[in-house]
């Protein structure tokens, strides 16, 4: 039995030596895009985390579909990562992304089975040039999503995420890149890790959401 504790102890030490990722919630004011994000970093191994950031308009009429801006920051060794807007694999929009050279590919998916998620036209991501880049250590994208906050959950019930409170999110991480990385229609290799958290949208409220979105989209 001792070797198990030895291995765990060694693993813990590795975490300490290389620095545990800072995980959990925070508020992030992004100078580049101008949005204020409700941010959450979730670990996918002892040393690395992926950050998911949400910006929403404020005020939002209750139970009305609204756009959201999603910003994801992932270490470059991530093959693909995805956000499940309803906090589970099935019956909710899945925003899958990966790096392809100097570009970030974003793919909208939705599935009713624990298998390859088909593409989904009910949620559309428009990737901003600002807040999107690939460098030696990370890939990052910022995108406005239309259709991510209202969706048909299991049983056919329409669900709208709470724009001023917490929503259950899930993410998935795969170490393997999609087989056809230049295409957002590519099939995916199954995840190595997934987990859940409660994402507080209230700290990502943006009174200037519409004008910031227009600015980042490059509208005149
Ligand atoms: C090729 C693609 C995928 C395959 C083959 C796949 C397969 C599976 C399977 C078989 C399970 C069940 C595991 C178990 O019973 O313990 C599962 C669970 C899960 N998957 Fe996927 N998956 C894929 C893509 C995704 C994507 C894109 C997401 C987005 C975040 C995701 C999120 C999850 C989550 C959160 C769970 C936990 C159970 C649940 O919430 O339904 N998966 N997956
Ligand atoms: C793939 O990208 C194109 C062009 O940006 C977009 O119109 C389409 O909706 C995307 N498809 C998916 C599945 O995300
Ligand atoms: C690479 O991108 C990450 C994520 O956006 C950023 O935190 C980091 O500062 C960037 N590195 C360099 C050298 O610019």
Query: What does DSSP say about strands 24-29 and 166-174: parallel, antiparallel, or unpaired?
Result: unpaired
**pLDDT band at residue 3 using 50, 70 and 90 as cut-offs:** very low
Whether the Cβ atoms of residue 136 and residue 208 lie closer than 8 Å to each other: no
Give pLDDT tens digits for 37-47.
Answer: 999 999 999 99
Domains in the chain: boundaries = 7-216
Average pLDDT across the chain, whole number: 92
Yes or no: domain 7-216 corresponds to CATH 3.40.640.10: no
Q: Tell me if 138 CB under 6 Å of ligand 3.
A: yes
At residue 209, the 3 state secondary structure works out as helix
**18 pLDDT more than 80:** no
Return the closest-CA partner of residue 204 out of 86, 57, 93: 57
Distance 56 CA to ligand 3 centre (A): 24
Distance 121 CA to ligand 1 centre (A): 20
Q: How many whole angstroms separate alpha carbon 211 and alpha carbon 31?
A: 15
Q: What lines the ligand 1 site, CB under 6 Å?
A: 82, 84, 88-90, 94, 96, 109, 114-117, 170-172, 188, 190-191, 194
The model's pTM: 0.92
Q: How many whole angstroms separate alpha carbon 179 and alpha carbon 186?
A: 6
**pLDDT band at residue 155 using 50, 70 and 90 as cut-offs:** confident
How many Cβ atoms are within 10 Å of 150's Cβ, its own excluded?
A: 18
């Amino acid at each position: 039995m001792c070797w198990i504790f030895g291995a765990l102890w060694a693993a813990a030490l590795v975490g300490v030596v290389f620095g545990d990722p800072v995980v959990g919630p925070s508020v992030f004011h992004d100078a580049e895009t101008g949005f204020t994000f409700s941010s959450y970093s979730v670990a996918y191994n002892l040393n690395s985390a992926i950050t998911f950031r949400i910006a929403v308009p404020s005020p939002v009429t209750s139970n009305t579909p609204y756009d959201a801006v999603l910003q994801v920051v992932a270490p470059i060794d991530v093959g693909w990562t995805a956000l499940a807007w309803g906090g589970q694999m099935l019956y909710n929009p899945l925003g899958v992304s990966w790096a392809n050279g100097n570009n970030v590919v974003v793919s909208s998916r939705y599935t009713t089975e624990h298998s390859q998620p088909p593409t989904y036209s009910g949620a559309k991501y428009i990737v901003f040039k600002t807040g999107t880049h690939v460098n030696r250590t990370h890939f990052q994208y910022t995108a406005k999503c239309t259709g991510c906050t209202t969706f048909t959950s299991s049983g056919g019930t329409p669900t709208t995420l709470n724009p001023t409170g917490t929503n259950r999110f899930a993410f998935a991480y795969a170490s393997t890149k999609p087989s056809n990385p230049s295409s957002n229609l590519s099939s995916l290799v199954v995840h190595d890790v997934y987990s859940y958290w409660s994402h507080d949208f209230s700290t990502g409220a943006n009174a200037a959401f519409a004008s910031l979105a227009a600015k980042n989209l490059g509208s005149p």
